[in-house]
Amino acid sequence: MRVAVVSIVCLVGLALAAPAWAQDPNLIEQGAKLFTDQKCTLCHSVAGKGNPKGVLDAVGAKLSANEIREWIVSPKEMTAKTKAERKPPMKAYPNLSKTDVDALVAYVSSLKKK
């Protein structure tokens, strides 16, 4: 009985640590498309495509999904918080739906190349 309780607690813990959408391949693919459509590549590059000043190839290993979400939702605050100096600064994307943001976060979080 105790074993069962412990494993249920562990499973719930794992599910919380890695939300399902973070690994959803469809969402990641949708995010990859948005990354190009929303012109993130004007200032960022992935796998050599885009602006080489803002390489994001390994950003999924550096930042948490929440931090990546904050960059997309409140870049002004994140620029101030991280004292980022590169110009032009990142601007907000008020037209993105919640699903769009989720997809972008899933995609950017999946970039973990060393």
- Considering only residues 89, 92, 99, 113, which one is a binding residue for ligand HEC as defined by CB under 6 A? 89
Tell me, by CB under 6 A, how many residues bind ligand HEC.
23
Task: Let me know: does 77 contact 70? Beta carbons within 8 Å.
Answer: yes
Of residues 2 and 98, the one with the C-beta less far from ligand HEC = 98
Q: Which two tokens stand for residue 106?
A: 């899933």
| Binding of residue 59 to ligand HEC (CB under 6 A) | yes
CA angle in degrees (0–180, nearest 5) for 26-35-57: 90
Residue 47 region by backbone torsions, left for phi larger than 0, else alpha for psi between -120 and 50, else beta: left
Binding mask 1-20 for ligand HEC (x = CB under 6 A): --------------------
> Which of 26, 52, 25, 51 is closest to 39 using CA atoms?
51
CB of 12 to ligand HEC, least distance (A): 28
- Considering only residues 46, 68, 103, 106, which one is a binding residue for ligand HEC as defined by CB under 6 A? 68
In the complex, the residues that contact ligand HEC under the rule CB under 6 A are 35, 38-40, 42-44, 54, 56, 59, 63, 68, 71-72, 84, 86, 88-91, 93, 104, 108
